[in-house]
Chain A
Amino acid sequence: AQSVTQLGSHVSVSEGALVLLRCNYSSSVPPYLFWYVQYPNQGLQLLLKYTSAATLVKGINGFEAEFKKSETSFHLTKPSAHMSDAAEYFCAVSDRNTGFQKLVFGTGTRLLVSP
């Protein structure tokens, strides 16, 4: 069964600093990978997704992620953090066997941005 592991339940950065949120996946077949963001008291919003096209995926709000098969990773980055990026971020995986709609989420990483 597929799964994702997010390293670090909390990540703190200063405004303007690089954001790096880590995600490693486990899947027996080529996966689809997703990053979602959750703002306080809100539902989840899709940031970006990898579906076996380009390995570097660009998303909304300046975020991007790179699929690295050799490292089974899909880390999320943003060159310069903004205060409005403070939220919880979830990595998720699905695969062609179970259907792309059936997402398995990681435990989430809370991003804290200080002035």
Chain B
Amino acid sequence: DAGVIQSPRHEVTEMGQEVTLRCKPISGHDYLFWYRQTMMRGLELLIYFNNNVPIDDSGMPEDRFSAKMPNASFSTLKIQPSEPRDSAVYFCASSPLVSGVDTEAFFGQGTRLTVV
């Protein structure tokens, strides 16, 4: 398997524009996570899905952020409108449905977002 695939790797956009980040999880994984990494706040869980259903979105910072998972092989994180403070590295991760002691989250390489 190619692992978790995120696109684009880098995105530079102007303030006010809509940004869409994409993620393809590892085939067969039931859980998908979106994380944001910044210098100030470190790694924060934004939202996660189980079997395409959002389970916990308490980490989504504002209504400008939305995430969808239309099928088991694709998820998007959208920011509309974007602001400079959204600049960060956004990671997608997936994990299989196994017992707790065997679980592991596999991370993509991230999307570095810069909002100017």
The CA-CA distance from A108 to B91 in the complex, in Å, is 16
Chain A 80-92 per-residue mask, 1 if CB under 8 angstroms from chain B, else 0: 0000000000100
Counting chain B residues whose Cβ lies within 8 A of the other chain, the interface size class is: 20 to 34
B105 touches A101 (CB 8 A): yes
A74 to chain B, nearest CB (A): 16
Interface flags, A46-88, vs B, CB<8A=1, else 0: 1001011100000000000000000000000000000000000
Q: Are A103 and B42 in contact (CB under 8 A)?
A: no
Residue of B nearest to A45 (CB): B107
Contacts of B56 in A (CB 8 A): 102
A-B pairs, 3 with minimum CB distance: A43-B107, A105-B43, A100-B100
Q: Please name 29 pairs of A and B residues whose Cβ atoms are closer than 8 Å in the assembled complex, sorted by A.
A: A32-B100, A41-B109, A42-B109, A42-B110, A43-B91, A43-B108, A43-B109, A44-B43, A44-B93, A44-B105, A44-B107, A46-B104, A46-B105, A49-B104, A51-B100, A52-B101, A53-B101, A90-B42, A90-B43, A96-B100, A100-B103, A101-B31, A101-B48, A101-B105, A102-B48, A102-B56, A104-B45, A106-B42, A108-B43
* CB of B75 within 8 Å of the partner chain: no
Query: Bound state CA distance, A101 and B30, in angstroms?
Result: 11
A41-B110, A105-B43 given; 9 more Cβ-contact pairs under 8 Å: A32-B100, A44-B105, A44-B107, A46-B105, A100-B103, A102-B48, A103-B45, A106-B42, A108-B42
Interface size class of A (residues with CB under 8 A): 20 to 34
Please list the residues of chain A having a beta carbon within 8 angstroms of any beta carbon in chain B: 32, 41-46, 49, 51-53, 90, 96, 100-108
A43 to B110, Cβ gap below 8 A? yes
Give the interface SS of chain B, mostly helix, strand, loop or mixed: strand
Per-position contact with A for B21-65: 1 when CB-CB < 8 Å, else 0?
000000000010100000000111100100000001000000000
- Contact assessment for A107 and B109 in the assembled complex, using a CB-CB cutoff below 8 Å: no
Residues of B within 8 A of A (CB): 4, 31, 33, 42-45, 48, 56, 91, 93, 95, 100-101, 103-105, 107-110
Q: Closest CB of chain A to B97's CB: distance in Å?
A: 9
Which of B4, B45, B103, B107 has its CB near the most chain A CB atoms (within 10 A)? Answer: B103
